[in-house]
Structure 1
């Protein structure tokens, strides 16, 4: 059916590209959506798990430049960033996710790009220009995708080289001086070899004004270069070599200060133009203002008001990725696939943690990392009724990180409005932390499908994994003799050392290995071609590890693996001659030995109160919920979609250890990043205008209240309910040219996206994007 486009909402998605999505049998109907969620091409309605497939058209409708654009459009999927590390991703599916941005914490939602899992969350908000589709697999996927997939998988499939010459060019200009220019060119070199080249550049100003100097904060400037060669001499063999480079030169992460009078980080409103805190009281939820303002001082000031040893308004990422994929079909041992992957990156972040007009604290963090992986598998039909996938996987990864924290609010601070001066009654702290981690994982897996009858199929899978991690971490703390703390401990006025060494926390290198077995057992039943019922039991795990950011030697760990058992049942149905698609999923998860970060405070008579953290296997939880998704095509050109997700994610057993001593019984409290309700309603309509085609699209997303950065439910740490409306108007001319208008957050709702509450100390926040709008144009050939 030409011209019908469907936006993904949960497991109901826009159609795949023409070569992957066969046409419906009449002029009004839903197309098949081909996915590779089980490492084989299948109609999404035949896959017995909860899966969403977000196609290229759906991503265009979302005006998404990175995977963060999926936030709100797929039920029970949360996509965001850590507030103080803007290029570190935070993915949570069904309440299972990792909030800690440093690599030592690992992942529970695996980001897989062209078959290669990305071990590091840093830089994992991938650019999605020229992406064929993004598949979201909800629930444990350990059998086929391995460890660290207890929450699920976000599977990104880039458009591959084709044998026809063609290409496209897209340009966008929007408010905040957003400019995006991107293009893809497909070139058949000969009958056996084809190449595809992609370039994408996206930049915009920040949407938060710095009250210190009037500059914008949080700017974006990112460029992607991707290329691929595909060699396919015959129908039984193909080999694809691809490479990618991403260069990001963004502004520093923006932190908003929510501190209140009496708290250590509080700066009086009006002092040196200090902005009002968006938090009005400890017992109340914070509220984003009508105008976004913040403060970054980027270093301490000397007596003349000049910045000494400044940090930079920068967050710089250089990321390299390469892969080699081999497919050999119809061999004596089945269809063989081998995928070799490599990625490395360097990330340099500067952050003004104090977020006020008076310099209080900042961090400099440099991370260098690489990963290498190899997968080899085969899919073979043992008999007419038994199909088997079997294979092995190995990954090696390494990272080094040096973080430098400078504090000048360790003691009381005095403000003099008359002379516009600030006096520190306590010297500043300088703390450097080093992390050096090596990790390798090797596993073998098998998944079999048994056709018990023509309608009933049994699915059984198992995976054994051996993983070893070693960590060398240390922290060194010094105290400056003056109010200025420099990176090298040298007083800028005298050129002499001005610091006192308080020693280091430097335990011996930690090293440990773990062996784990995960499995899956399920049944699916198809009484008709358009109806499937399924159920399964899956056990997944996340590996153990070591903590890299230390305040005490005991913080290092190790912490042990965590485990989940998920029971899921579902119905997938195409009804009324495929004019209506209805998918319903119910699930229950038993989540044990949860790896949770524990925050504490060290009361030191010399250095004051220092915040520390470690990871311990401290809790268990029960998670249950329902996901309902509908898509309808009542008439030619009109597509309506709706989705509703309910999530009950609560601790079953958890004694939270307070930093000041004692504990809190957290039984019955909600998990982080797990809103109880989320929903989406979407409509798109295509219609002819002479020789042209018009297209209208609108989407409404709702998400209820949640906690994100805090474990303990504190009103100041709550993320408010959110209502987001997006809209597009497009005009296509002669099947080649396109021009359109777009708006995200059309109603310009202002929300807080990240909130933390450390009572008596500070409350760092981040703001969600305001209304973004602009004009776009495209040409394809």
Structure 2
């Protein structure tokens, strides 16, 4: 299998030359190969175009050419492109709720009140919630994974890193691509994009997708498929260049998902939390209601890919989004560019979900919610070949959401289901100014200085049966300066060594799922991470071997921990977010790409993490007793993870054959805050492979994902004192695809 694994990570490729720093809009894609050596990797990780080997930070990337030969479904499939990256679906709501962690820093919760730790950015627009964060892999032209705090350029909630996605641009000539894919579970995907010129200064691009599946969970209680989904997407982008040096871009995307609610598994038992606090070990649903796991780590129904939920399965859940982006770029001089970027992102969603995952109605919810965000960014970029290059700008964020939650509770009063309503509204305004400057003292030494000043303001209003301050919301604000300093040493054109210190910051806020007025009104405070990193980037053996590595240490302060605790009123539980811990994460990362001979490339990456709490003293079970919890392990932080991949292509007959595959290993890791051993994931080997044959512009492919049928948990959650639920990762999938380009 190692000989069949997926191709190396290339972003926009240029034929063996190093690009000068400049604007992201100036880049062009080169040919996929260069005779005699590996391609330059051109990235926009720092909001200007530059060679990856010249960037003094840890970045991995996938190019349009590479992506065209992969069969990625959504952003989860990009996790194997970089070390120390985990991306899953929490299965806690419609539309795909991202749980992304980089270097052991991540969150896994559906609430929009909880800011992500990993910034997911599409065409320069940052998505401010985990809901909808699993962006579909449609018309993606480039993927960049930035590891470590990116607070200088990407802001307050990129404390773990950034996944930067870029789509293709409209072209003057008629170009396009259509792909049809059919896979098991009666999954049919149709995707298309076409671009053409309207005038010599205007071009337009249209894109569309239709995806349907019966899903991989079967509901044995209701005797039907339990996770069906229909997804449609339509998009248009207009690119105008009316005068030299002026570029205008406008895009609009409408996406709609209708689906069954995600099917969860009840994994509750009297010993399921052995070693955890006593309140967590006493699972009411098992001890009193006899809704129990039959064995340690086994769901109540026995099979992870079956469900016994009594929740509705009529595609009653939906997640609809609109995204509008406007960009104006003006070249002030040959190497100085001014750019304005506006983004408007809206979501409308509703779901009735069975969270208890049993045949009884014990804990169901209706969660209709609306969200919108408006972002404005003004950016000045200087490139060129001189000693000084920089990007500096101003940023404004304005967002709001409202959720009209109804919880259906059937475990409090015998033979009665209580309907408990709660309405929450939050607003968030953020202001920032930032800069990132490179100054090259000599051919050997380059100094990078960066900084961002951020001020955040949040409000929360809650209407509950026990209290009401919806019309008189609580308010709080926070501000932070996040600096960065890096020094690069380049003894030759092919070797770079650097030292980096950067600070990341995640803003404070209010819990969006309270049961008591005190929890609803009390804010939690920001958290910060200081990143110390030493790295080396080298191209050896006449550019046939590329080795990029880094050693890092992260110092965590005021670490935010989100978890469920018992509550004396309402639903019997609420989400708390505590600033209770300091922690340290130490690690190593290595990326290697080797062109062994023409047509055959090996790529590998490996990550090591040592994540530990230093001081975690807090009341974690809401009993009023403060305990030392420093022995708990980080969630989603495997000690070891690695990927071995390869790409072999050869001309056969009238066309070219491609063999690809990936072997991605995830070490054992915790899934829950309390380190529930029943929901702990063992080591997993995730193997993907594909074979394609291309004649002219037509390609026929066959593929398989998760070949070894790993069934680890993608989400695990303890509702303290009540029950624990989980959902498995996607099982083995296989299919065929026909791709036509023109």
Give the TM-score of the pair, scaled to structure 2. Answer: 0.91
**Closer, same or farther in 2 for the Cα pair 1:330/1:525, shift >3 Å?**
farther
Question: Deviation digits for residues 478-535 of structure 1, max 9, x if unmatched?
Answer: xxxxxxxxxxxxxxxxxxxxxxxxx446585111121211110111111111111111
Question: Deviation digits for residues 408-464 of structure 1, max 9, x if unmatched?
Answer: 1226xxxxxxxxxxxxx3633322121111111111112211111112100001111
Deviates more, 1:743-752 or 1:171-180: 743-752
Partner of 1:446: 435
Partner of 1:84: 92
Partner of 1:626: 588
**Closer, same or farther in 2 for the Cα pair 1:637/1:290, shift >3 Å?**
farther
**Closer, same or farther in 2 for the Cα pair 1:408/1:288, shift >3 Å?**
closer
Residue of 306, 310, 315 corresponding to 1:297:
310
**Counterparts of 2:383 and 2:164, CA distance in 1:** 25
**Closer, same or farther in 2 for the Cα pair 1:350/1:460, shift >3 Å?**
same
**Closer, same or farther in 2 for the Cα pair 1:8/1:653, shift >3 Å?**
farther
Count of residue pairs brought into register by the alignment: 713
Structure 2, unpaired ranges of 5+: 16-26, 271-281
Match of 1:712, SS?
Answer: coil
2:213 corresponds to 1:204: yes
2:656 corresponds to 1:693: yes
**Closer, same or farther in 2 for the Cα pair 1:578/1:15, shift >3 Å?**
farther
Match of 2:369, SS?
Answer: strand
Residue of 315, 318, 322 corresponding to 2:324:
322
**Counterparts of 2:335 and 2:78, CA distance in 1:** 39
Partner of 1:769: 730
Partner of 1:481: none
Partner of 2:701: 740
Match runs of 1:56-455 below 5 Å? 56-86=64-94, 87-260=96-269, 263-266=283-286, 277=293, 280-281=295-296, 292-298=305-311, 313-331=315-333, 334-380=336-382, 384-410=386-412, 425=414, 427-455=416-444
**Counterparts of 1:114 and 1:26, CA distance in 2:** 28
**Counterparts of 1:671 and 1:527, CA distance in 2:** 39
How far apart are 1:749 and its partner, in Å?
Answer: 2.6
Partner of 1:567: 532
2:605 corresponds to 1:643: yes
Q: Which runs of 4+ in 1 moved over 4 A?
A: 5-9, 14-19, 21-26, 284-291, 310-313, 505-508
**Counterparts of 1:129 and 1:434, CA distance in 2:** 35
Partner of 1:301: none
How far apart are 1:126 and its partner, in Å?
Answer: 1.1
**Closer, same or farther in 2 for the Cα pair 1:588/1:523, shift >3 Å?**
same
**Counterparts of 2:525 and 2:738, CA distance in 1:** 52
Partner of 1:491: none
For the 8 Å contact 1:91–1:98, the answer to whether it is kept is yes
How far apart are 1:204 and its partner, in Å?
Answer: 0.8
**Closer, same or farther in 2 for the Cα pair 1:17/1:729, shift >3 Å?**
farther
**Counterparts of 2:36 and 2:161, CA distance in 1:** 34
Partner of 1:550: 514
Quick check: which has more Rg, 1 or 2? 1
Question: Deviation digits for residues 558-580 of structure 1, max 9, x if unmatched?
Answer: 11111111111111111111111
Match of 1:105, SS?
Answer: coil
**Counterparts of 1:75 and 1:32, CA distance in 2:** 20
Partner of 1:722: 684
For the 8 Å contact 1:62–1:726, the answer to whether it is kept is no
Question: Deviation digits for residues 293-340 of structure 1, max 9, x if unmatched?
Answer: 112212xxxxxxxxxxx6854320110001111111243992111101
How far apart are 1:180 and its partner, in Å?
Answer: 0.6
**Closer, same or farther in 2 for the Cα pair 1:8/1:651, shift >3 Å?**
farther
Partner of 1:536: 500
Match of 2:518, SS?
Answer: helix
Match of 2:76, SS?
Answer: helix
Question: Deviation digits for residues 213-269 of structure 1, max 9, x if unmatched?
Answer: 211112221111111111124552211111111111122121111123784324999
**Counterparts of 1:24 and 1:746, CA distance in 2:** 28
Partner of 2:488: 524
Deviates more, 1:611-620 or 1:637-646: 611-620
How far apart are 1:603 and its partner, in Å?
Answer: 4.4
How far apart are 1:763 and its partner, in Å?
Answer: 1.6
How far apart are 1:714 and its partner, in Å?
Answer: 2.2
**Counterparts of 1:280 and 1:47, CA distance in 2:** 51
Structure 1, unpaired ranges of 5+: 299-309, 412-424, 477-502
Residue of 570, 573, 593 corresponding to 1:611:
573
**Closer, same or farther in 2 for the Cα pair 1:462/1:382, shift >3 Å?**
farther
Give the TM-score of the pair, scaled to structure 1. Answer: 0.87
**Counterparts of 2:42 and 2:240, CA distance in 1:** 23
**Counterparts of 2:314 and 2:618, CA distance in 1:** 37
Question: Deviation digits for residues 67-93 of structure 1, max 9, x if unmatched?
Answer: 122234421111112232252211111
**Counterparts of 1:285 and 1:454, CA distance in 2:** 60
For the 8 Å contact 1:51–1:137, the answer to whether it is kept is yes
How far apart are 1:27 and its partner, in Å?
Answer: 2.2
**Closer, same or farther in 2 for the Cα pair 1:407/1:60, shift >3 Å?**
farther
For the 8 Å contact 2:670–2:681, the answer to whether it is kept is yes
How far apart are 1:6 and its partner, in Å?
Answer: 9.9
Deviates more, 1:70-79 or 1:764-773: 70-79
**Closer, same or farther in 2 for the Cα pair 1:127/1:720, shift >3 Å?**
same
**Closer, same or farther in 2 for the Cα pair 1:26/1:384, shift >3 Å?**
closer
**Closer, same or farther in 2 for the Cα pair 1:20/1:8, shift >3 Å?**
farther
Partner of 1:586: 551
**Counterparts of 1:468 and 1:35, CA distance in 2:** 33
Match of 1:724, SS?
Answer: strand
For the 8 Å contact 2:11–2:142, the answer to whether it is kept is no
For the 8 Å contact 1:627–1:643, the answer to whether it is kept is yes
How far apart are 1:38 and its partner, in Å?
Answer: 0.5
2:680 corresponds to 1:667: no
Which one has more relative contact order, counting CA pairs under 8 Å at least 6 apart? 2
How far apart are 1:57 and its partner, in Å?
Answer: 4.0
How far apart are 1:774 and its partner, in Å?
Answer: 0.7
